[in-house]
Amino acid sequence: MNPRKVSKKLVAGVAATSAAGLVATGLLLGSGTSSAAPVSLTLDYTCPFPLIGDQPIKVVINSDMPASIGVGQQTGVFDIKAVSTVPETATQGLTLVGATTIEGKAVSGAKVDAPGISLPVNVPVTIAKTPVPASGAFDVVATGQTPSLSFTQAGTAKITVSELNLNLTPRKADGTETGLGTFDSACKLNPGQANVLHTFEITGGPGSTTPPSSTTPPSSTTPPSSTTPPSSTTPPSSTTPPSSTTPPSSTTPPPGNGVKVSYNLKGTSVLKALGGSVALNGSFDADADLAAGKYTGDLKLDPTSGKFKIVGFLPVDASIKFAPVGKASGTVTTGAITYDGKLDIILTKISLFGFPIYQGETCKAANPTDIKLKSTGTFDVLKGGKLQGGYDLASPTNCGALNDFIGPLAASPGNTIDLDLVIKK
């Protein structure tokens, strides 16, 4: 993932995460009949995204809301606009997957508590197509309309904002989807916050305790629809139905839709039977299919050398060269990767007691050595992480006149590798 590094993770879609907050504002009432007054609420969410994991998102909700409404009176729909700042890490994640724009839809959950009723409300909103900058934070705007409500009892009512569900599509410059495709993110409201968006008065007679059908209870009684309501409840989303109705495009992106990333690496390998270790330096370039959670890549290791002891006490110096055999492959998920590759490990020079006993390019095992690694701790695709694993070094052949001496003594099963990968700047 070398081109425009991040970040997903990266998760990529992360940027849109802030848009989630924008949605939340939509959960409130309509305009009412009294004069509207400005209301504002700032909330912190945690939104999970591909590759880059959970991201903190701050959302500032602003609107105009009525201070009161009469019993039995329709509030009417209310236009909502909210702005969220996408953090730099999210920007990195989006640029990592080649995204130049981000768009989507979302459903925000809220609750209206009034005398005689506690009504969950789902509000769909549209996240406008927004350019993704090369770096730094940027703002995302979401707009939508609230459902029209009416109330049957006088008293005080309040609107509280809760979780929100995002459906996001990062796109490349040519309009095609990135390797992330279209993905969902269920954002959670961080605990301990004041999440009351607005408090208002319902004026007039007591009325009945059963809310009229205009309160749109269906949207509140079928929360599962929150994962895909935008397509059915938000006409504006019809401008981009193909991306939401053709999931195969996001799960099987074309070959050119891969995400490229490059890392510098360093580490050590301990050769158990030879009583020594070698330093490892090099790079790893990968082309990942993020939707499938797989990648292929090229591992390049610099030549190295080490000091060993054969049969427990004979000092040996060896120079080593590595030649990859085919492409490596592995899996990539949020916070973790695996690696599976093959290498020819070539002994280019061997000295015993300081005297050269072999020099050349042919001293290697008959078959490539299998290298299997996996991340330890959290692997951040935007930054890198640690990999550990092992391999068995078989007896080399074609090691010159002393091949029969060198071969059996150079074999070493149960070797270990520890690597640190750091994203290339």
Question: How far is residue 387's CA from residue 280's CA, in Å, rounded to a whole number?
Answer: 13
- 336-366 tens-digit pLDDT: 899 999 999 999 999 999 999 999 999 999 9
What average pLDDT does the segment 378-389 reach? 89
Backbone dihedral angles phi then psi of residue 424, each to the nearest 5 degrees: -75, 140
295-301 CB contacts, 8 Å cutoff, 24+ apart: 295/329, 295/330, 295/331, 295/332, 295/337, 296/327, 296/328, 296/329, 297/327, 297/328, 297/329, 297/330, 298/324, 298/327, 298/328, 299/324, 299/328, 299/339, 299/341, 299/343, 300/324, 301/343
Beta bridge partners of residue 269, listed in sequence order: 278, 417
Contact status, residue 266 vs residue 420, Cβ threshold 8 Å: yes
pLDDT class for 37, splitting at 50, 70, 90?
confident
Least confident of 265-269, 357-361, 407-411: 407-411
Please indicate whether residue 25 or residue 106 has the higher confidence score (pLDDT).
106
What's the pTM?
0.58
Answer whether residue 228 shows pLDDT above 70. no
- pLDDT reported for residue 32: 38
What would the two tokens of residue 216 be? 């749109």
Answer whether residue 222 shows pLDDT above 90. no
Q: Which amino acid is at 300?
A: K
- pLDDT reported for residue 411: 92
Instruction: Measure CA 328 to chain center.
Output: 22
What would the two tokens of residue 172 be? 């490349």
Question: How far is residue 418's CA from residue 416's CA, in Å, rounded to a whole number?
Answer: 7
SS3 state of residue 242: helix
pLDDT class for 258, splitting at 50, 70, 90?
low
pLDDT above 70 coverage of the chain, percent: 79
Please indicate whether residue 389 or residue 149 has the higher confidence score (pLDDT).
389
- pLDDT reported for residue 49: 81
DSSP codes of every residue in 114-143:
ETTEEEEEEEEEEEEEEEPPSSS-EEEEEE
Question: How far is residue 275's CA from residue 125's CA, in Å, rounded to a whole number?
Answer: 64
- pLDDT reported for residue 242: 36
Summarize the chain as % helix, strand, coil (round to 5): 15, 55, 30
- 40-51 tens-digit pLDDT: 888 899 888 876
- pLDDT reported for residue 291: 63
Task: Look up tokens 């409500």; give the residue.
Answer: 149
Strongest mean pLDDT among 94-103, 117-126, 154-163, 282-291: 154-163
Least confident of 254-268, 284-298, 302-316, 405-419: 254-268
Strands (E) in 132-275, as ranges, are 138-145, 155-171, 183-189, 196-203, 259-271
Question: How far is residue 53's CA from residue 103's CA, in Å, rounded to a whole number?
Answer: 20
